[in-house]
Structure 1
């Protein structure tokens, strides 16, 4: 089956934010004839981000969650469909999307501002500055990590008006498992770049600090030109909050058009 014939879409959420970041995307894709799901990570199924923040820092179930377990939770969703779905992920969700694609479980995949798989070392300064606290080095993994508003401003919503930054923080920012973050540096984040796969689109944004353009280009270049479709698109003026910026529909339209061609 071609991607253009698929009607099921699984949205994969990244770290630090609620799965409700996909709400508008789901509605928009559904208006185009797709069936969509955007399942939360295990232990993140609260109705609001505030409810999850109120559990900080002593939510031990979330604190002990691993990257393998998050990946497995999405694989279970993907396999629940009678046919392979389209998988679209953002940030760490973009990494998980590539893992799902690499296991031949998606008819096509889109990784939006992706965290790099193992084998693409993220040495870019802004990536290290934006993400190193989430690793919680020399701190207990029995406690979760919550990004401060100051760090949110740098990592997600840079260049946006202050009131919009605050509103986005209140609506979407949630505690995170340091164990999951550390998993991105282990074999849990490994894929076989040389393996043939279904079509993959990687996107980046010129303002992104967590996954800057240079890092996304290096992920794209890591895939060999072996006959599998791997495309890359850079969007001007997008930061890591790309799913919620006023320009999100332009990005969604580009992705929809790309899907229609594959």
Structure 2
């Protein structure tokens, strides 16, 4: 049972993955003495099946709306949390840290924030399910198992990739990907993050060396944007991991690395 002094940890899922995929992480963090939670995005339902059956409710949801929903979840907590996000959840985690709503953040394979310039072919191909049609900006888009295999499961077996696809994938709103891809051309992009702020909590950015959806070079470019901040900003790479690194059979190594880093920050 958690004590009143347990530090809250809010897990933030990314595009196309249901929040319940964080359950193994929540169990490990609870055992380590934290108080974890994993709210879904606006429009998400309690289960994968329910979310798939109500895909239209996700249509049009954007970065600002997602961030605001997590701000409300944080406001209901008894203490300022640590936030841990994957993919677009990693972008949201950085925004919450920069706004002072989180005491620390871990951004795993984070979607590109404004100012990130590298655009590898693998990332373009991974985003095509949404970006190939401008109308998808206001739709909910589902991945095929083949698209999931390329964008998420390329560093694991096809059997495991197909299993993860069946268990965890949900339709995703096209708007966040459209907003992030156009961020550098917008003066007021919702993908903008204050990377200069020095009175924020510590940040760890984790990259997968074989990630197609957010290639290592993209995560490293985000890390470099923080060079002007005096706050703690660390970077770690898992060289043989793809975008599925938080939910595939190797998830525990990433979770343990996250716990070790938090301990190093006395959090």
Distance in 1 (CA, whole Å) between partners of 2:144 and 2:158 is: 15
Q: Partner residue of 2:207? A: 204
Q: 1:117·1:191 contact (CA, 8 Å) conserved in 2?
A: yes
Q: Distance in 1 between matches of 2:137 and 2:83?
A: 30
Deviation at 1:141, TM superposition (A): 4.7
Structure 2: distance between partners of 1:251 and 1:159:
15
Pick one of 172, 176, 180 that aligns with 1:180: 176
Is it true that 1:165 corresponds to 2:168 in the alignment? no
User: Do the aligned residues in 2 keep the contact of 1:135 with 1:179 (CA within 8 Å)?
Assistant: no
1:144 to 140, 144, 150: 140
Shift of 1:132: 2.8
Post-superposition offset of 1:250: 1.4
Runs of 4+ in 1 over 3 A off after TM superposition: 140-143
From 236, 242, 247, give the equivalent of 1:244: 247
Structure 1 residues 117 and 6: CA distance shift in structure 2, 3 A: farther
Correspondence 1:24-173 to 2 at 5 A: 24-47=24-47, 49-56=48-55, 59=56, 61-135=57-131, 137-139=133-135, 141-173=137-169
Q: Tell me which of the two structures has the higher relative contact order, counting C-alpha pairs closer than 8 angstroms and 6 or more residues apart.
A: 1
Question: 8 Å contact 1:122–1:128 — kept in the other structure?
Answer: no
Secondary structure of the residue aligned to 2:258 is helix
SS at structure 2 position matched to 1:209: coil
* Structure 2 unmatched runs, 5+: 184-188
Residue 8 of structure 1 corresponds to which residue in structure 2? Answer: 8
How far the C-alpha of 1:11 sits from its partner, in A, is 0.4
CA distance in 1, matches of 2:236, 2:134: 38
DSSP-derived class of the 1:75 partner: helix
Q: 1:30 touches 1:36 (CA, 8 Å); kept in 2?
A: yes
Number of the residue aligned with 2:186: none
Measured at CA, do residues 140 and 167 of structure 1 come closer, stay the same or move farther in structure 2, by a change above 3 Å?
Answer: closer
Residue 136 (structure 1) shift: 5.2
Question: Are the aligned partners of 2:61 and 2:173 in contact in 1 as well (CA < 8 Å)?
Answer: yes
CA RMSD of aligned residues (A): 1.7
Instruction: Tell me how far 1:216 sits from its aligned partner.
Output: 0.9
Listed as ranges, the gaps of 5+ residues in structure 1 are: none
8 Å contact kept, 2:13–2:40: yes
For residues 218-257 of structure 1, the C-alpha deviation after alignment (integer angstroms, 9 at most, x for no partner) is 1111112432100000012211001122221111111111
- Please report the TM-score for the alignment, with normalisation by the length of structure 1: 0.91
Q: Which residue in 1 is equivalent to 2:258?
A: 255
Provide Cα deviations, 1:133-166, integer angstroms capped at 9, x if missing partner.
2235333555321111111000000132222111
SS in 2 for 1:233: strand
CA contact (8 A) 1:116 1:122 kept: no
The answer to whether the 8 Å contact 2:114/2:192 transfers is yes
